[in-house]
Amino acid sequence: MHTDQIRLSKTLSHALRHEPQSYNIALDKEGWVDLSQLINGLRARGWRNLRAEDIVSVVEKSEKKRFQILDGRIRAYYGHSTEEKIIKQPQAPPDVLYHGTSAESVNEIMTQGLLPMSRQYVHLSTDTATAKIVASRRKGSNISILTILARQAYDEGISFYKEENGIWLCDRLLPAYIRL
């Protein structure tokens, strides 16, 4: 993606994950908004010549697959920090999932568990390669990959949510279900 597409992708993240009100849009309970509403909100914030095709191009070209467009609506899959929690549909997870983090965070995680922190959900990966990519974005040079006993946690009452891009989400995850 070129510079304008990267900037648009970051703006989409801000609008659809963090501050929809700043763009005069309202997300529904599942995080969706009409694409036309989003375009109008972005145009009012300086993207004067923005077209639906520009947004579609960013969504299709993004390696990170953060957004979904369906039936004239758009949403961010995950990463929301909005006050109103985005509703997800629980699903049975695979036996194990993975979470990439900085090595400096491991002791705290093993004591307190995985917390959503400034987001609404904890983000988990189906493979260690994706978890490593996530961990590499964190501060600190050393990364750790945690194995999550997802099926056991699910069987014992923890809800998991699968996004169409392969990322799994859950609420707080207790240390009993985390292995280094």
| pLDDT score for 156 | 97
Residues 72 and 107 in one domain: no
Whether the per-residue pLDDT at 122 is higher than 60: the answer is: yes
* Rounded CA Rg of the chain: 17
Any domain includes 84: no
Any domain includes 85: no
* CATH number, domain with residue 65: 1.10.10.970
> Using one digit for the tens of pLDDT, what is the confidence trace for 139-158?
656 899 999 999 999 999 99
| pLDDT score for 162 | 95
> Using one digit for the tens of pLDDT, what is the confidence trace for 40-95?
999 999 999 999 999 999 999 887 788 999 999 999 988 888 888 899 999 999 99
Residues 110 and 167 in one domain: yes
As a whole number of angstroms, the distance between CA 135 and CA 83 comes to 26
Residues 70 and 106 in one domain: no
| pLDDT score for 140 | 59
Residues 144 and 175 in one domain: yes
| pLDDT score for 35 | 97
User: Three-state SS for 77?
Assistant: coil
Q: What percent of the chain has pLDDT over 90?
A: 73
Residues 109 and 154 in one domain: yes
Range of the domain at 131: 97-179
Any domain includes 50: yes
As a whole number of angstroms, the distance between CA 86 and CA 128 comes to 27
**What mean pLDDT comes out for the span 105-113?**
95
pLDDT band at 170 (very low <50, low <70, confident <90, very high): very high
Please say whether the beta carbons of 16 and 27 come within 8 A: yes
Of the residues 47, 76, 105, which one is the last residue of a structural domain?
Answer: 76
Residues 159 and 105 in one domain: yes
Handedness of CA 130, 127, 176, 78 (dihedral sign): positive
| pLDDT score for 134 | 79
Tell me the pTM: 0.81
| pLDDT score for 139 | 62
Number of domains present in the structure of the chain: 2
Residues 58 and 103 in one domain: no
User: Three-state SS for 174?
Assistant: coil
* CATH number, domain with residue 105: 3.20.170.30
Any domain includes 83: no
Residues 102 and 167 in one domain: yes
As a whole number of angstroms, the distance between CA 178 and CA 180 comes to 7
DSSP state of 18: I
Residues 71 and 102 in one domain: no
Any domain includes 29: yes
